[in-house]
Amino acid sequence: MPTATSTATATATATATATKTPTATATKTPRPTATPPPTLTPTVVALDLLPTAIPIGTPDATLVALQPTAVPTPVPLLVQPEGTVNIALMGTDITNGIGRTDTLIIASVNPNLPSVSLLSIPRDLYVYIPGWKMSRVNTADVHGQQVNYPGGGPGLVRATIEYNLGIRIHYYARVDFEGFVDIINTLGGVDVLVDCELHDTFPDPEAEDGASDIDLMPGVYHLEGKQALWYSRSRWNTNDFDRGRRQQRVLRGAFAKMNQLGLLPKVPELWEDLIQTVDTDIPLDTALWLAQVAGRLDTTIALKSRFIDGTVLQSWRTPEGAAVQLPNSQRIGPLIAEALAPPDTARSRQGVARVEVVNGTTWSDWGILAADRLAWEGFDVVLAEDASGNYPQTVIVDMFEQSKGSPAQLLARILRVNETNIVPYSAAADTLPQEDKDKIQEQVDADFRVIVGYDYSPCYKSYWWNLHGPPPE
């Protein structure tokens, strides 16, 4: 297995160094004590306090007739818990003064648990841009700026998301690539879990020949600003859905670093500098309130990542030959509803299963990657010591052998483990090394013990894919 650290070379193409940081990122940490925080009131919190949504109306009949595909009717507004705030996080690629939305993530904040749900929207999603035409969702921002839409580009992004996905957007935060690099560098870089192998070459003015490689095998890496940008944007040996996952990985790394540095309570002092880099309509008092909510967040159970991906989309080519993604109207609604539901609500479908993850390989980060993967899906995860032996295949030990309502099969689908490798606790003595049997007998407070083997593939398959699989042809 190649090591996770790439080396800078003096050849024609410089290699971007990504220092491996084998920290137990996915280790379960105790929940913070529930201390009532001082009351802060944001400018806008509840849906009923929001101004009326920008009218989107009925598409003009003449325009509809000219569209290459059917113009959808407006999607009903998603019902969310009172007090929920949805923020459109936008990363903009500005070329020749024109900016298209390269990254679009909805952050849905529920202050009551508290919890945050992240939903990535692929830039090639083919939607109706209100008042204009059917187009990729990443064109809404620049078109809104060009036609002076109410609220500018972000105003049209809001209307587009509400029209096609039924999500009310309360605020936006937009940053270009230079600003993104500055933010990551100001944090001193971020630790990122890389779950899929990635290779690409990017323009790099700092390199001798003007280009740098980024070569990452699965593992834990510390990425500086430009490396984090490359990791977030790469499409050479990957796709738009994978980009969404990687972008959320970097976002999570940045949030963890902000917590580590104690920056959340310092929002008032940092605000003026921040808004020089980030274009946003979030007022300061609301930013303070959001920082307070974030400070109470237990990221091991209350930070959820979801993606609009190939499970609910269909590839299509426009008459002009552009490759786009059409939403499957029957499947995308349930995905969005689950994605933006508070994590505890979503977890009820599988129960609160406590899982101990053990690394049964010589690859140091394999246990971390598997533990983090399960934590993303809402399992209560503990990262334990390495196993005593080497395991060719991943084994799931069912500690309590629950037949009714057991999440063992979901565990197997997420980790892509053959169900024949789900071993009842009573049978573990016949299949495992003695030292590992002794450890299992000592550990009875976990529902499952996952021993990660060499066959484990950390490359991500979405939650929705694991439950429902790809859409029918």
With 0-12 CB in 10 A as exposed, 13-18 as middle and 19+ as buried, what is 433? middle
Contacts of 200 (CB under 8 A, 6+ apart): 213, 214, 230, 234, 236, 237
Cβ(377)–Cβ(306) under 8 Å?
Answer: no
Amino acid identity at 258:
M
Give the pLDDT mean for 259-275: 92
Q: What is the per-residue pLDDT for 39?
A: 40
pLDDT in tens, 191-218: 999 998 899 999 999 999 999 999 999 9
Where does the pLDDT of residue 434 fall: very low under 50, low under 70, confident under 90, or very high at 90 and above? Answer: low
Where does the pLDDT of residue 41 fall: very low under 50, low under 70, confident under 90, or very high at 90 and above? Answer: very low
Q: What is the per-residue pLDDT for 390?
A: 87
Kindly give the residue spans of alpha helices, DSSP state H, lying in 296-443: 329-339, 343-347, 366-376, 408-415, 434-442
Distances (CA, A) of 114 to 14, 82, 285, 336: 44, 12, 18, 19
Share of the chain above pLDDT 70, in %: 77
With 0-12 CB in 10 A as exposed, 13-18 as middle and 19+ as buried, what is 391? buried
Share of the chain above pLDDT 90, in %: 53
Q: Rounded to an integer, what distance in angstroms lies between the CA atom of residue 257 and that of residue 259? A: 5
Where does the pLDDT of residue 98 fall: very low under 50, low under 70, confident under 90, or very high at 90 and above? Answer: low
Q: What is the per-residue pLDDT for 13?
A: 34
CB atoms within 10 A of CB 112: 11
Give the pLDDT mean for 78-102: 87
Q: What is the per-residue pLDDT for 464?
A: 58
pLDDT in tens, 317-368: 998 899 999 999 899 999 999 999 987 544 444 456 889 999 999 988 999 9
| pTM reported for the whole predicted model | 0.82
pLDDT in tens, 280-331: 999 999 999 999 999 998 877 788 899 999 899 999 999 889 999 999 989 9
- Among 181-185, 403-407, 457-461, the range scoring the smallest mean pLDDT is 403-407
Cβ(28)–Cβ(380) under 8 Å?
Answer: yes
pLDDT in tens, 222-243: 999 999 999 999 987 778 888 9
pLDDT of 75 strictly over 90? yes
Q: What is the per-residue pLDDT for 165?
A: 97
Q: Rounded to an integer, what distance in angstroms lies between the CA atom of residue 8 and that of residue 13? A: 9
Q: Rounded to an integer, what distance in angstroms lies between the CA atom of residue 59 and that of residue 46? A: 29
Per domain, the residue ranges of the chain are 47-180+224-344, 347-468
Cβ(49)–Cβ(308) under 8 Å?
Answer: no
Where does the pLDDT of residue 460 fall: very low under 50, low under 70, confident under 90, or very high at 90 and above? Answer: confident
Where does the pLDDT of residue 439 fall: very low under 50, low under 70, confident under 90, or very high at 90 and above? Answer: low
Distances (CA, A) of 212 to 199, 203, 232, 329: 11, 6, 15, 41
Q: Rounded to an integer, what distance in angstroms lies between the CA atom of residue 393 and that of residue 455? A: 5
Q: pLDDT higher for 119 or 27?
A: 119
Amino acid identity at 465:
W
Bridge-based pairing of strands 19-20 and 211-216 is: unpaired
Where does the pLDDT of residue 63 fall: very low under 50, low under 70, confident under 90, or very high at 90 and above? Answer: low
Q: What is the per-residue pLDDT for 332?
A: 95
pLDDT of 427 strictly over 90? no
Give the pLDDT mean for 155-183: 96
pLDDT of 45 strictly over 70? no
User: What DSSP line would sit under 404-464, residue for residue?
Assistant: SS-THHHHHHHHT--GGGEEEGGGGGGTS-HHHHHHHHH--S-SEEEEE-TT---S---HH
47-180+224-344 CATH fold: Aminopeptidase (3.40.630)
Q: What is the per-residue pLDDT for 58?
A: 67
- Among 115-124, 131-140, 420-429, 450-459, the range scoring the smallest mean pLDDT is 420-429
- Among 60-64, 89-93, 240-244, 330-334, the range scoring the smallest mean pLDDT is 60-64
Of how many residues is the chain composed? 473
pLDDT in tens, 174-186: 999 999 999 999 9
Mean pLDDT of all residues belonging to the chain:
81
Residue with tokens 């002076």: 148
Q: pLDDT higher for 435 or 400?
A: 400
